[in-house]
Amino acid sequence: MESSGIVAHKFWKHLNNVDAASNHLSLPMEFCVKYGHLLPSTVDLKLRNGFVVPVELDRSKGVLNGVLCFFKYLKLKGDEWLLFEYSGRYYLNVYIIGSNCSEMNYPDVIDPFKECIPQLVTIGNGGWRFIWSISKTGNVSDAINPPSQFLDRCGRYLPERVTYLLSNGMKKNGAFCHESRKFSGLVAMFDMAGDRIMDSVHMLMFAFYGGSLIKVSAFDENLYEIFLPGTPLTVDTGCWMLDIRKRDDYYCSTIVDGWQIMRDCLKLAVGDRLVFECPKDSPDQFSLKVLKNDV
């Protein structure tokens, strides 16, 4: 599930016991309207451990059919949170947050009847996540206690000084106190977003990848990701998702998906040049300039 480029779109589904026993799962209407026409009729659900399940997409209803085997494999009972991440291809990356609000430990056993390649699940390879609900819209506490399960997994690796990275590339210094087991500095971080944005934030997701960087994503009341204003994510009002991977020869990286959408939106022509600018310590987010060919 390694992928870099401009941000991937994310949304959550909070399962109840009925959902966990169903073979169908509805997708957010906003996601279906925006990306439903780009997805094939068969979509792969991919887990971090390499497990892949193909499901059928009913575009007219915005429903995934055939998800029950996926739920049974993970032994989901309800009250889990499913984070879906779409990068413009034929699959959805799925991360599972337990009822304790921390990312769960994924099964080691891969179904021998499926063509899946086991992947090592570590903090350094894909990070580790927890969620934090905001009880009063727009009211973010300056300090929070992460779930104990998250700290059991990551606490020993957390430095006292951390850097919060927002989805628009903006950064703010924060801290983690090992004695109180709290992150602090959140109010200063979201002061940059402004009151209008914060009034729509319903939930936050924190992702730790090792080192001192903590990536923070905000979600609205419909559990759809909020894209914060500012550079380097936005160019005018444009934001595109690119899937960039190393070629088999390992000598260079290639845009393997998302290019056609961006090309058409920018109305690029032969001879136009693109300049990608990457801010320091933000290798997965780029600002973009188009140099038109006037000849």
pLDDT by residue (tens digit) across 224-261? 888 766 534 344 445 666 767 666 665 677 776 677 77
Q: 70 and 13, same structural domain? A: yes
In a domain, 274, yes or no: yes
Residue 82 is classified by DSSP as: E
Q: 219 and 188, same structural domain? A: yes
Q: 92 and 50, same structural domain? A: yes
> What number is the average pLDDT over the span 83-103?
90
Q: 145 and 66, same structural domain? A: no
Query: Amino acid identity, residue 273?
Result: R
Which residues touch 166 (CB under 8 Å, ≥6 apart)? 172, 189, 192, 193, 216, 218, 228
Q: 210 and 134, same structural domain? A: yes
Total domain count, the chain: 3
Q: Which domain holds residue 281?
A: 243-291
In a domain, 87, yes or no: yes
CB 278 within 8 Å of CB 285: yes
Q: 183 and 148, same structural domain? A: yes
CATH of the domain at 28: 2.40.330.10
Q: 214 and 142, same structural domain? A: yes
Higher pLDDT among residues 197 and 159, named by residue? 159
Q: Work out the pLDDT band at 141, boundaries 50, 70, 90.
A: confident
In a domain, 103, yes or no: no
Residue 38 is classified by DSSP as: G
Place of tokens 């990356």: 93
DSSP alpha helix (H) spans, the chain: 17-20, 29-35, 68-74, 148-154, 186-191, 195-198, 259-266
Q: 212 and 164, same structural domain? A: yes
Q: Work out the pLDDT band at 79, boundaries 50, 70, 90.
A: very high
For the chain, percent of residues with pLDDT exceeding 70: 79
Q: 277 and 221, same structural domain? A: no
Q: Is the pLDDT at 280 greater than 70, yes or no?
A: no
- As a dihedral over the C-alpha atoms of residue 31, residue 36, residue 38, residue 40, rounded to 10 degrees, the angle is 130
In a domain, 65, yes or no: yes
In a domain, 173, yes or no: yes
In a domain, 123, yes or no: no
The Cα-based distances of 199 to 137, 173, 191, 203, 274 in angstroms read 5, 22, 12, 11, 36
Token couple for 106 = 């994924």
Q: How far apart are CA 97 and CA 131, in angstroms?
A: 8
Task: Look over the chain and give the mean of its residue pLDDT values, rounded to a whole number.
Answer: 82
